[in-house]
Every structure is written in structure tokens, then in C-alpha cells.
Amino acid sequence: MCGIVGYIGNQESSPILMEGLERLSYRGYDSAGVAVIGSDGKINVRKAKGRLENLENLLKEKTVYGTVGIGHTRWATHGEPSDLNAHPHTDVKGDIAVVHNGIIENHVSLRKQLEMNGAQFVSQTDTEVVAHLLNQLYEGDMKAALLKAMTMLEGSYALGVICTREPDVVYCARNDSPLVIGFKDGEGFIASDIPALLSHTRDVIFLKDKEIGVLDRSGVKVFDIYGNEQHHEPYHVEWDLSSAEKGGYAHYMLKEIHEQPEAIKKTFEPRYSGTPGDYSWLPLTVEEVKNLRKISIVACGTAYHAGVAGRYAIEKLARIPVEAAIASEYRYRDPIIGENELFIAVSQSGETADTLAALREAKRRGAKVMAVCNVVGSTIAREVGDENTLYTYAGPEIAVASTKAYTTQVELMMLIAVALGQMKGELASEKAQELLDQMHQMPALVEKALGTEEQLQKFTSIASHKKHVFFVGRGLDYALSLEAALKLKEVSYIFSEAYAAGELKHGPIALLQEGRLVVATITQTALLDKTLSNLREIKARGAWVVAVCRESLKEKVTPEADELILIPDTDDLLMPLLAVIPLQMFAYCMAVARGCDVDKPRNLAKSVTVE
């Protein structure tokens, strides 16, 4: 979703702002703009609909000079993507410029009030109210105006503000939308996401909700909503920009698929001492586990699919009832949750608005809350506290379609299942040891599964014209099919649907006909016979069956499939970590064959910070 950057220092700001915006472009956007305070003391704004190249061309035609500026990539919510609706927005005289992520929920009433006081609006955005509001509240001190404005603004926001009357300051503020401040000698940076400032500094501060940051060339100050100065321990970012660059791969998605062995290793190792029984990384006592009545795993998109896989594993190993729920539904259904229940929010970004809201709801109702999250310092991680956050160490995930975050989320789900199983006394330590040993082997097996790429490339070159694809499976294979169908539709725009294989005959089988493509995942040994009969039903309708199948089942599956994609063997429970590889690769190759914008699919955003 939208991205924010800001700069103050001694260098020309517009190239720095543009570089930052480029690094944020993976989040998804449909227009972009910058505002820079020129040497004449005026704010110069340049905005363009569409890709960043359009803004770049505009900046070549109409250059802006100045060492203080803010920039934005917009993903339209209020008002169509257009030059006018693009940020930054200014007040009537153009003295104040604002960039904003999030949604100002009371913008309609504020707009009426501001118009009565003389403001003239030029855009359809909610953001423009902030510029006019700051103008009307300004009495010679932007910090005071911003603090006052924050008591009037409802909704979520990360704001970047510059003002001609204070030309050597960049202001920022946040509420429910991430904002990070970076600094080094004589220079300050703001951004909605770390990659945007990482080529300049690794020392950052995460602004908390209802705080403002004041940046000038002498440093950064942070204040709470009452104007009291706050001290923040700077966070030193360990990963470098190369982790967020393509490194020779054609696309980020392909690079991230290939990074999975490493991501899995990094996520597993800190939680593995060699012998089962040490689960000190899990923020639950044995007593708490024994008293658990239910676990709710709540998330959106791919993270939700990791939760579905987690449900199968936890119920099997720990015998605790688990529900996996979609966050946007969970929040509004008056959920039944309370004491002696565990709520796990799963989120790559840690910023997804629906997941955050669901988490707050569960917390309010007295549940124990935990998060599985990939981004240190993100809102969700902070909301549950670092001690209750299980980090996936996947590294920065740039492609909009999630791959390595998913595998590490599933891996953590499996680890949680083993830990809960043992702590509850349901899982024998021999079985736990066996599972942990196999997880230890996982990076090498995933590497082997990556070997399916060539076969998939060949196959997708003939399959890419398909208009519909069905994904089927049973048990954990169904959980995987959900993710496979999502991946394919996200990046290739092919209509795809996942069905529990046994459910096909209750309706969807009506859609099967000669040549229809069905991808079956077959990794669950205990369910093999049932799945094979489903495959026969599918084949009998003339469909083209591709089976993603574990090596040990090859002989039995061969007669029922037109194409076989073989993956290595491990415990049934851990098979999703391997089977997902060719399914991700399938989506990727289909998208490439169809000429799609793989890393930035249309209409999608990496981190959805609105409901």
C-alpha cells in the first residue's frame, strides 16, 4: 500500500526521495509525488498518475531543488488514481504539504468544517483535510498544530509534513500506520518501511502510536500527544540492501522462492537445541498449555493459509481445538474468546489492519495473545510485545505475492504444534524428536524440491493459456491447495479455485470437462486411497490432471495423473513445506509465460493497512 518518504540534510532531496519511493514501490501504488522546499522558500510539488517513471519524467522537465522534502506512492482508496488525488497535498496557499498513509475516518465532517472556514479542496482524498486542518490550526508552531490536529483526526495515519514557515524541519506523526525515522550526521529520513532508507542509514527509531517526530539537521526528537519528549532506543537494522534486491534473479518472487531453504533454516535454528523438551522460545507455561480451551489463529491472505495448515498440525499433535479464521470476518462476528484461550495473529508485515483489529478484539476479551510475524518493530509485534512474538526470519519479502514468509509461517506452526503436543503430554518425545530431526533436514529437502523448476517451466509453456485451474487435496493438501490457488490468481490473473478433494462431487464437479486443468496435491499417506478415488472421478470427466506428489507415492499415483511433479519425502505433517515449492513455482512460471507483472500484480498491495 501507500509509501512515505521524507528527507532533511545537505544533499538535494528529490533524488533521495525518488530512490526511497522506488524501494517502496513493491508495496503497490497507482500514483506518486514529491514536495520540496526550494531556495526561494516555497514548496514545489510534482505529482503524476501511474508508474514512478512518469514522476521521474516530470521531474526532468520541471526540476525541483532543495534539501528538505517529502514523497509518496499512493494506492487509491478515496478518489480515483489521478494527478490531482496523488500526494503530497497542500493547504490553499501551498505553505504546508502533507503525505499520508492510512484513512482519516472523519474526513467528511472535518472537510465541511474546514470549508466553512474558507478551505478550498481540490482533490477527493481524505488526506487533503490534514493540510487544511494544519493550516487553520497553525499559530507559529507546527509541532503544536500537529499535536492539536491529532486530537481531531480519527482513523489511521502515518504523516509526513513540511511547511514554508519552518523550512528546516520535517515533521511526522503516526497512529496505526507504520513510520520509521532514520538518522545519521546532519541528515534525517522518514519512511513507511525500512528498505526506503537503508541505503543511507541502519540506525532507526520506530515511532509509536500517537507520537510525532521532529527532524532537523541537528537530530531527531520524538514527542507524545501531550508534547512530552520521549526517549527511543535506536534499533540497528542487521540486514542490508542486498537482501532487498533481486540479486541476479529475473523477479523478486523467483529470488524469494529460492531463498526458502535459508529462511527455513534461520527460523528453525534458534528454536532447536538438538533434543525435544526445550520450548523456552514459546511464551506459554506448561500449566497455561494444559488449561488451554481453544486456540484461534487469525490472519489474512497467505498468512491465513499458513494458519489453516497450523490448525491441522496443532489439533493432531496437541489435541487442542483450533479455529483458523479470516481476520476481516473475525472482528465483526462478535467472536467467542476469553480466558484460557490463545489467539495467534499471523502476519508477514505485522501491519495488516484487519489482523491488528482482530488481535485487539481478542486481547480486549481476555485471551492470551501471540504473534507470528516477519517484521521487527511492526505494529502487531509491538502490540503483543516482543516476548510474545515468534519471528519468522525470512528476511525482507518484496514481491507482493508471499512465498518465503508462508513457508516460515507454516514451519513455525509445525514447531508450535510439536511444542504444545509435548507440553500437554499428548506427544511422545520419540515422535517429537523424529519431527524435529526432519525439520532440521528440511532446508536440504526444500533445495531438492526447487529442482522442479525446469519441469514446471516446460509444463506451463503449454498450460499458460488455461482460463481456469482447480486445485484439490485432502487434509493438509487442502490447506496447501488454498495457498496454491491464491498464488496463481494473484500473479497470473487466472481464475483458480481450491476444493477439498472430497467436496468436488457436491457441486464443482459440474465444471469439470474435457481439458480442464486440475492440480492435485497428494502428500498425505493416510488419505491416499480416498484422494485417488477423487482423481478417478476427475479423470472420468476428461480433465487434465497434474499431480504434485511425494516420491514414495509415485507408483500409485502415476496411473491416475497426466503429469507428475515429484517432491522428496518427509513426515506427512511437514509435507506442506515441500509441496508448496512447485506450487509457488507453477504460479510464477504461469505468470511469466503470460507476460504478467509478477512482482507487482495489478490492484494488489503488499501490506494492506486499511480495512
Residue 352 interacts with ligand G6P (CB under 6 A): yes or no: yes
Strands (E), 60-210: 68-74, 89-90, 96-104, 155-163, 170-175, 180-184, 187-191, 203-206
From the CB of 604, what's the least distance to ligand G6P, in Å? 5
State the cell numbers at 519. 492440480
Contact 390, 245 (CB under 8 A): no
| Binding residue for ligand G6P, selected from 303, 543, 548, 575, defined by CB under 6 A | 303
CA distance 35 to 46: 6
Question: Which residue lies nearer to ligand G6P by CB, 327 or 419?
Answer: 327
Stretch of 294-302, 333-341, 549-557, 560-568 contacting ligand G6P, by CB under 6 A: 294-302
Q: Which of residues 391-410 bind ligand G6P (CB under 6 A)?
A: 400-402
Residue 301 interacts with ligand G6P (CB under 6 A): yes or no: yes
State the cell numbers at 322. 483450533
- 299-308: burial string, b at 16+ Cβ within 10 Å, e else: bbbbbbbbbb
CA distance 223 to 147: 9
Question: Which residue lies nearer to ligand G6P by CB, 169 or 400?
Answer: 400
From the CB of 325, what's the least distance to ligand G6P, in Å? 14
Question: Which residue lies nearer to ligand G6P by CB, 178 or 421?
Answer: 178
Residue 609 interacts with ligand G6P (CB under 6 A): yes or no: no
Residue 482 interacts with ligand G6P (CB under 6 A): yes or no: no
Burial of 439 (0-12, 13-18, 19+ CB in 10 A): buried
Residue 382 interacts with ligand G6P (CB under 6 A): yes or no: no
State the cell numbers at 370. 501471540
Q: Which of residues 549-578 bind ligand G6P (CB under 6 A)?
A: none
Whether the link from the prior residue into 88 is cis, omega within 30° of 0, is yes
**Active site includes 549?**
no
- List, in sequence order, every residue forming a beta bridge with 8; answer none if it has no partner: 68, 188
- List, in sequence order, every residue forming a beta bridge with 103; answer none if it has no partner: 156
Stretch of 9-17, 116-124, 145-153, 349-357 contacting ligand G6P, by CB under 6 A: 349-357
Which strands form 155-163's sheet, in the order they lie side by side?
89-90, 96-104, 155-163, 170-175, 211-216, 219-224, 229-230
Question: Which residue lies nearer to ligand G6P by CB, 392 or 570?
Answer: 392
Q: Give SS3 for 331.
A: helix
From the CB of 240, what's the least distance to ligand G6P, in Å? 22
Of the candidates 346, 443, 442, the one whose C-alpha atom is nearest the C-alpha of residue 392 is: 346
Question: Which residue lies nearer to ligand G6P by CB, 279 or 588?
Answer: 588
- List, in sequence order, every residue forming a beta bridge with 173; answer none if it has no partner: 159, 212
Residue 171: count other Cβ atoms within 10 Å of its Cβ: 24
Question: Which residue lies nearer to ligand G6P by CB, 16 or 309?
Answer: 309
Enter the DSSP assignment of 88: P
Residue 307 interacts with ligand G6P (CB under 6 A): yes or no: no
Residue 300 interacts with ligand G6P (CB under 6 A): yes or no: yes
Contact 175, 141 (CB under 8 A): no
Question: H or E stretch including 32?
Answer: strand 31-37
- Measured from each CB, the residue nearest to ligand G6P is 301
Question: Which residue lies nearer to ligand G6P by CB, 225 or 604?
Answer: 604
| Binding residue for ligand G6P, selected from 152, 326, 450, 604, defined by CB under 6 A | 604
Residue 607 interacts with ligand G6P (CB under 6 A): yes or no: yes
- 251-284: burial string, b at 16+ Cβ within 10 Å, e else: bbbbbbbbbbbbbbbbbbeebeeeebeebeebbb
Of the candidates 195, 212, 194, the one whose C-alpha atom is nearest the C-alpha of residue 204 is: 194
Residue 156 interacts with ligand G6P (CB under 6 A): yes or no: no
Stretch of 72-80, 445-453, 525-533, 603-611 contacting ligand G6P, by CB under 6 A: 603-611
Residue 500 interacts with ligand G6P (CB under 6 A): yes or no: no
Number of residues that bind ligand G6P (CB under 6 A): 17
Contact 326, 482 (CB under 8 A): no
Residues in contact with ligand G6P, shown as a per-residue x/- string from 504 to 523 under the rule CB under 6 A: --------------------
Q: What are phi and psi of 571, to 5 degrees?
A: -60, 145
From the CB of 88, what's the least distance to ligand G6P, in Å? 25
Q: Give SS3 for 287.
A: helix
**Active site includes 467?**
no
Question: Which residue lies nearer to ligand G6P by CB, 352 or 422?
Answer: 352
| Binding residue for ligand G6P, selected from 100, 391, 606, 609, defined by CB under 6 A | 606
From the CB of 400, what's the least distance to ligand G6P, in Å? 5
Q: Give the active site residue among 2, 163, 549, 589.
A: 2
Residues that bind ligand G6P (CB under 6 A): 300-303, 347-349, 352, 355, 400-402, 604-608
Residues annotated as catalytic are 2, 606
